């Protein structure tokens, strides 16, 4: 079942997994918007996003009253002005919902598929989407922020800058920081083929923890994981609070940082 509230499953897994991550995108439309969004997204899938598919089971031609709460907990709270009052009003007044699922991804294909997901976002906005959320990590941005990210991804693709593209897709589809009893956590790094990062609350402020998460992600994109773990005095754990069948489950594990270097 597609989650709409960003909640983690209670089960834990410590076993190395062969699970392949998938994107789930949620597009909200206006009156009669589902048909327009379906046509635009279907055309985009045929053109450049092979493997994506519309989920007709959970899509609906009427408003979903759960969306106000769902988007409320998923708005990106790291990027300044990531959404506006107008974006919140659009969620409140939406009239239709379209879900789209992506293909299973490996670590090698994740960035390419995630870039395709961003291009689908652009197609949906052009077709009248009023709000958009990445369900696989529970992250929502306002329309202007989604468009800026897509433009940046297009520039990275044109310049063949793989590191920049990975960074942009991470900022688009990963959520941070989430808070557990001991850690501030990222969720969604599996959508670019990387482990997530958990930082002990004793490390410092939320801002410091987010900067560290992003720094470790940049290191992992450039270096071997073992080298990053040694340099950061970190460990790789397979234990996480998401079940293996949860879209938020990270099969690459969790980089755990318990103290400052």
Q: Given CA atoms 226, 213, 101, 155 in this order, what sign does their dihedral have?
A: negative
Gap between the Cα atoms of 178 and 203, Å rounded: 15
Domain C-terminal end among 168, 192, 209: 168
Same domain, 146 and 227: no
Same domain, 224 and 161: no
Residue from 113, 134, 105 nearest 21 by CA: 105
For helices 67-74 and 85-92, the axis angle rounded to 10 degrees is 150
Last residue of a domain, one of 168, 189, 224: 168
Per-residue pLDDT tens digits for 32-58: 899 999 999 999 999 999 999 999 999
Q: State pLDDT tens for residues 51-81.
A: 999 999 999 999 999 999 999 999 999 999 9
Flag whether pLDDT at 10 surpasses 60: no
* DSSP type of residue 104: P
Q: How confident is the model at residue 259 (pLDDT cuts 50, 70, 90)?
A: confident
User: Does 133 lie in the same domain as 46?
Assistant: yes
Tell me how far apart the alpha carbons of residues 215 and 211 are, in angstroms, rounded to a whole number.
6
Structural domain boundaries, residue 253: 175-257
The answer to whether residue 77 is domain-embedded is yes
Burial of 211 (0-12, 13-18, 19+ CB in 10 A): middle
Q: What is the mean pLDDT of residues 11-28?
A: 77
The rounded distance, in Å, linking the Cα atoms of 230 and 244 is: 27
Domain closes at, from 168, 197, 225: 168
- State whether 93 and 160 are in the same domain: yes
DSSP 136-153: TTTEEE-HHHHHHHHHHH
Condensed to tens digits (0 to 9), the pLDDT of residues 82-137 reads 999 999 999 999 999 999 999 999 999 999 999 999 999 999 999 999 999 999 99
The phi, psi pair for 55, rounded to 5°, reads: -95, 100
Rounded Cα distance between 12 and 152, Å, is 36
pLDDT level of residue 16 (50, 70, 90 thresholds): low
Record the pTM.
0.91
Look at phi and psi of residue 233 and say left if phi exceeds 0, alpha if psi is from -120 to 50, else beta: left
* Structural domain count of the chain: 2
Whether 245 and 193 share a structural domain: yes
* Phi (first) and psi of residue 34, to 5 degrees: -60, -40
């Amino acid at each position: 079942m597609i989650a709409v509230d960003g909640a983690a499953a209670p089960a834990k897994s410590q076993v190395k997994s062969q699970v392949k991550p998938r994107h789930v995108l949620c597009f909200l439309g206006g009156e009669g918007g589902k048909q327009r969004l379906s046509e635009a997204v279907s055309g985009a899938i045929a053109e450049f996003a092979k493997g994506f598919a519309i989920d007709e089971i959970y899509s609906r031609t009427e408003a979903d009253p759960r969306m106000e709460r769902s988007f409320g907990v998923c708005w990106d709270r790291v990027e300044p002005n990531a959404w506006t009052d107008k974006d919140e009003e659009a969620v409140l007044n939406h009239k239709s919902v379209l879900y789209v699922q992506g293909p299973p991804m490996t670590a090698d294909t994740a960035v390419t598929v995630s870039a395709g997901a961003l291009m689908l976002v652009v197609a949906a906005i052009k077709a009248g989407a009023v709000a958009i959320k990445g369900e696989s990590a529970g992250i929502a941005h306002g329309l202007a922020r989604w468009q800026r990210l897509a433009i940046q991804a297009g520039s990275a693709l044109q310049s063949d800058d793989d590191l920049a593209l990975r960074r942009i897709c991470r900022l688009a589809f990963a959520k941070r920081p989430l808070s557990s009893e001991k850690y501030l956590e990222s969720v969604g790094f599996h959508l670019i083929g990387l482990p997530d990062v958990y930082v002990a609350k004793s490390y410092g402020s939320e801002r410091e923890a987010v900067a560290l998460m992003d720094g470790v992600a940049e290191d992992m994109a450039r270096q071997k994981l073992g080298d990053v773990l040694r340099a950061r005095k970190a460990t790789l754990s397979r234990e996480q609070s998401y079940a293996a069948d949860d879209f938020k489950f990270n099969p690459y594990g969790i980089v755990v940082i318990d103290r400052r270097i």
